[in-house]
């Protein structure tokens, strides 16, 4: 469940930011990705929320600075849901 979630998350990030899976890793900072801008960031939040059926808090959103940060936040939410 968690692994499948991570794969799906990466797919979403790549699709919203229009980049290939190979071009990003956990350390990729969103602001350093050429296609990232504040509007795409909003789209990313909404896409993630609707895929995982969660609502991110303000703290979650401002802490999502890298791909790894997003993974951590979403994994936390998925695990909480599974408990």
Partner 1 sequence: MDITGKNIIVTGGANGIGYRLVLDLLQEGANVCVIDIDQARLADLASQRDRVITVDCDLTHALEVEACIESIFSKWQCIDILVNNAGVLHSSPLVSFSPDGIKKHLLGDWDKIISANLSSVFYITVCVAEKMLLKRTRGVIVNISSISANGNAGQTAYSAAKAGVNALTATWSKELGMFGIRTVGISPGFINTESTHKILRESAIKTITDKVPLRKLGEVHDISSGIISVIKNDFINGKVIEIDGGLTI
CB neighbour burial string for 34-44, b if at least 16 within 10 angstroms, e if fewer: eebeeebbeeb
Which residue in 3, 20, 27, 58 binds partner 1 (CB under 8 A)? 58
Nearer to partner 1, 49 or 69 (CB): 49
Number of residues that bind partner 1 (CB under 8 A): 6
Q: Which stretch binds partner 1 (CB under 8 A): 5-13, 27-35, 42-50, 72-80?
A: 42-50
Which residue in 8, 43, 63, 75 binds partner 1 (CB under 8 A)? 43
Task: Kindly list the residues in this chain that would bind partner 1 in the complex (CB under 8 A).
Answer: 39, 42-43, 46, 55, 58
């Amino acid at each position: 469940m968690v692994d499948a979630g991570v794969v799906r998350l990466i797919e979403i990030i790549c699709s919203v930011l229009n980049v290939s899976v190979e071009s990003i890793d956990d350390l990729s900072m969103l602001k350093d990705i050429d296609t990232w801008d504040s509007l795409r960031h909003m789209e990313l939040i909404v896409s993630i929320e609707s895929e995982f059926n969660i609502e991110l808090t303000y703290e979650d959103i401002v802490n999502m600075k890298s791909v790894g940060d997003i993974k951590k936040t979403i994994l936390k939410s998925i695990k909480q849901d599974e408990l």
